[in-house]
Each structure stands twice: as C-alpha cells, then as structure tokens.
Amino acid sequence: MIIVTGGAGFIGSNLIYALNKIKEKNIVICDKINSKLKKKYLKNAKYKILINPTNLFNFLNKNSSDIKYIFHLGAISVTTATNYKKLLKNNYEFSCKIWKFCVKNKIGLIYASSASTYGDGSNGFKDSSSLEYLNKLKPLNLYGKSKHLFDLYISERIANKELLPPQWIGLKFFNVYGVNEFHKKKQMSVISFLIPKIKKNMEIKLFKSHKKNIKDGYQKRDFIHVSDCLDIMIWLYNKPNISGIFNVGTGTPRAFIDLTKILFKNLKKKEKIKFIKTPKNVLKHYQYFTKADINKLRKSGYSKTIKKLEDGIQYHLKQQKKNNN
C-alpha cells in the first residue's frame, strides 16, 4: 500500500496517474476534497480509498504492516500565508509525525520541500542536508520557513545519528507548472495563470523590477514542468539505496518576459505587456532569482533530459487541450 498525502492537489494528483502507469493501484489518498476541480482531477485515477488528513494517523497505525511507502506532498502551500501557528501545525508538526511513523515502521518516505527555503539565494541553491549549510538559509516568507524547519529537523536527526527511514528523500521543488492546478487560484503557476488571460486577448501585467541591476521583466526563476518532477520522483522511488535532499528544477533560470513572450507566440496572440509595481505584501518576500543546482541528482544517476521552458510550455498546452482543463 502506498500513501499519498495531498493526493488530490496539483503535484499529488499527477503523481497518482504516474503511479498508475507503473501498475501501482493500491494507493490511499489523504486530502480534503474541498473543490469540484480536485474531484475532477481524480476522475480517471485508480486508487483504493480517500481519507481526510484528520484521520490519517489512525489509519496509519491500524494498517502499518501493509504500508510500503509514503509520498508526503500535503501542505498549506500559500506563499503569502500569515498564520504561522497554522503553518507550523500543518507543514512542520504533521510532517514530523509522518517521519516518526516511517522510522518506527521502517517505511520509505518522499516529501515535498521547496525552493522557497533558499530565500534570496545569497547562500546558493545547494541541495545539502548539512546542518551547517541549512542553518545559513533565510526563507523570505512563513511558508518557506515552515518547510525549512522540517529540513532542519531531519538534518538534526542525521547529526545526532538517530534512526532514519530505510529511504528518505526531500524534494526542493522550484517553479512547477502543469495541469491540475486551477484550484490554487492566485497561487497557481504564472504559466497556468497567464494562459486564459492571453487567450482572451487581455493585457498581461508583470511586476516591475525594484533592483537597479535588473530590468523590468528580467527577474528569473527556474520553471519545471510537472511531468519532469514525476519522472524524478518515480526514479527515486525505484532507487531505495538513495536518500537525501534533492533540487527539482531544470538548472536553467528564465526571465518572466521570456516566458510571457513564449506564451503569446504559442497561443498566436499579439503581445500586450504592461509592467506594474510589485505589491508591498509580495515585495518583502519576492525572489528575484532561483536556479536549481541539479548536479547531485545527475551524479546519483538520473540521466533523463529535463524539458526546457519552450518545450515544457508546448507540452503543457497540448495536455490542457487534451484534458479540456
């Protein structure tokens, strides 16, 4: 039996289908179906049951001998969230309980961390589990901080030479885009957010740069299609001797202006772009640059080509058309 927390969400629902492709059907999804979209995402998925997060640990304890793996993707993922107590409960304490369960019952674990843990990038984007390195990182928002605390929790367990799960993988997802993210509304990827607007011939508003050395629209992020994230996750799942924190990105940062122009071109629409001031509540935790260092992943043996932005956007548009999403 495989447990997938957040299995009705963006990456989670896509993971269910990826697991189905490798003949995994004995899947338990832990999530809240609080929108029609989430229900729709799972329409053709093959899984055993769906349980509410409040019932997860009762279920785990009753079925511990049947569980072979946990993919922990569930979290409050709103980057502008201000209720830190709620973030700690959902993103940190809940994760610690899952970790302890995996250690006790010798169950493998893949969990979602985030590139937001790197903060402004001044300390690099090194996917290290070293306590010394992790202590240098300063996330810019409370969401990133809650994710960072769990990375630190694991690093401390390693430093103290405590028992660990037979396999543990922390994935620092960069800017992931793809189908099944419309339920996230304003928190969806910029690519999925802009597509319907460009289709309607609307003017696209991008944030101005508030740094003298960066031109408007040339803030850069590492954008990765969800299908590449799934390939990496399934590959690691099938490599039980590998453990550690890994970056999940392309390794190639791209400017927002480039991304927008690619979308206009692929949708065959005339460019309409306007630059606006970044809202104050966003500006204080805004990342101007992210770049996944994927050397560790490559050295571990992952050799599959990761889609560059142009190819990823084309693939995404085809999937949207196919799914009528």
What residues are labeled active site? 143, 184
Distance CA 174, CA 59 (A): 31
Which pairs count as long-range contacts for 133-140, CB under 8 Å and 24+ apart, including other chains?
140/116, 140/284, 140/285, 140/286, 140/287
- 59 by DSSP, 3-state: which? helix
- Measured between alpha carbons, how far is residue 243 from residues 60, 108, 238 in Å? 23, 10, 12
Residue among 14, 9, 23, 21 at smallest CA distance from 53: 9
Residue among 256, 239, 154, 244 at smallest CA distance from 205: 256
The two tokens of residue 313 are 């956007």
- 112 by DSSP, 3-state: which? strand
- Find the distance separating the first CA and the last CA of the chain, reported in whole Å: 30
Which residues, including other chains, have CB under 8 Å from residue 169's CB and lie 6 or more apart? 109, 110, 111, 236, 242, 243, 244, 245, 246
Helix axes 309-323, 256-266, angle to 10 degrees: 50
Which residues, including other chains, have CB under 8 Å from residue 261's CB and lie 6 or more apart? 271
Residue among 265, 253, 257 at smallest CA distance from 125: 253
> In a 10 Å sphere around its CB, with 0-12 CB exposed, 13-18 middle and 19+ buried, how is residue 43 labelled?
exposed
DSSP code of 300?
Answer: T
